[in-house]
Chains A and B, each alone.
Chain A
Amino acid sequence: MSVTINVNGKPMDVEPGLTVEGLLTLLNVKREYTAVAVNREITPKATYAAVTLAEGDKVEIVRPMGGG
């Protein structure tokens, strides 16, 4: 059994009960200067370990890029 979430616009099958913290570890994303939103709402860093991802959740993981 797995649930399908959407990460930065791409579908991804993950274990049920996966947290935002778990997802970032799984994807090997640096925490520094990174922000996460789940279903358009920002997830504060302090709650990464407490937020569980459910079927259909839309996750955005952003960080600074080149721009003017």
Chain B
Amino acid sequence: MYDTNLVLGGKEFSSRLIVGTGKYSSMDVMRDAHEASGTEIITVAVRRVSLPSGESILDYIDTKRYTLLPNTAGCYSADEAIRTCYLAREAGLGEMVKLEVIGDQRTLFPDVIGLLEATRTLAREGFTVMPYTNDDPIMAKKLQDAGAACVMPLGAPIGSGLGIRNPYNIKIILESVTVPVIVDAGVGTASDAAIAMELGCDGVLMNTAIAGSRDAVSMAKAMKLAVEAGRLAYKSGRIGKKLYATASSPLEGLPDWTS
């Protein structure tokens, strides 16, 4: 079936799965998982260089092949997040940013007030802003109006693996905005990713579900297939739900067994 590409900041991506670089058991496993996932966009954090500086994570990511997506994880204010984005840009990581303004350490839920402020500033400064937000349709619309290149509602708390807790809100977000909607956070297994895509989401971003699984490389492949399957199912138009059975075989032409 014909499908369009995911467009972010004027760039086109045929893969709708965005993956991270955190918590892998080794750099080799991470590299193989990236390969298996078919991803084209990879998130990274921006942190202090440990001194003396050893090998870099970028020794294991082909930056000609993958687009890097620096995040602002760990930022608790718009100011910190904005400065982190500037640092990322100065470091040569590009202008596409996964914007996080965290509101609380325990839940890692976003501080949407700070998020909106940072989105407005960074969009004005030419960044392609991809904000991690609540599954709140009103906020999604406000982020779009502030210049966000997409909105990334959480399915469930970061790293929780609880799946898409509120598919109805995700559905309303999809009706509320015209920018791409990418579910970010909460995916635990392949069916969660498929559900997000079946709802009509434009992509899924995940890290722990792959990196934390027992076999990260095969889980990465499972996620690739789930995202593709969910997308195809969405594009194909599922059947309606009915309470009672509808026979698949014709009712006419049954042989007569009565004596």
Contacts and interface: CB of A to CB of B under 8 A. Distances in A.
B22 interface: yes
Contacts of B44: 64-67
Contacts of A61: 48-49
Interface stretch (B84-92, B110-118, B138-146, B172-180): B84-92
A64 B48 contact: no
Contacts of B159: 68
Given A7-B51, A8-B48, A33-B58, A62 B43 contact: no
Interface in B47-106: 47-49, 51-53, 56-58, 68, 70-71, 73, 83, 86-88, 90-93
B51 A27 contact: yes
B214 to A, nearest CB: 18
A9 B22 contact: no
A14 B151 CA distance: 46
A2 interface: no
Contact of B23 (A8, A33, A63, A66): A66
B22 to A, nearest CB: 4
B208 A68 contact: yes
A42 to B, nearest CB: 5
B232 interface: no
Contacts, number: 110
Interface in A9-66: 9-10, 27-30, 32-37, 40, 42, 44-45, 60-66
B83 A34 contact: no
B229 interface: no
B24 interface: yes
Interface centre among A36, A64, A66 (most CB of B within 10 A): A64
B158 interface: yes
A8 B48 CA distance: 6
B56 A67 contact: no
A33 B52 contact: no
Interface of B: 20-24, 30, 43-49, 51-53, 56-58, 68, 70-71, 73, 83, 86-88, 90-93, 158-159, 205-208, 211
Given A33-B93, A37-B83, 19 more contacts: A7-B51, A30-B53, A32-B58, A33-B56, A33-B92, A42-B87, A62-B87, A63-B46, A64-B68, A66-B20, A66-B22, A66-B23, A66-B45, A67-B43, A68-B45, A68-B71, A68-B158, A68-B205, A68-B208
Closest 4 interchain pairs by CB? Answer: A67-B45, A68-B207, A68-B20, A35-B91
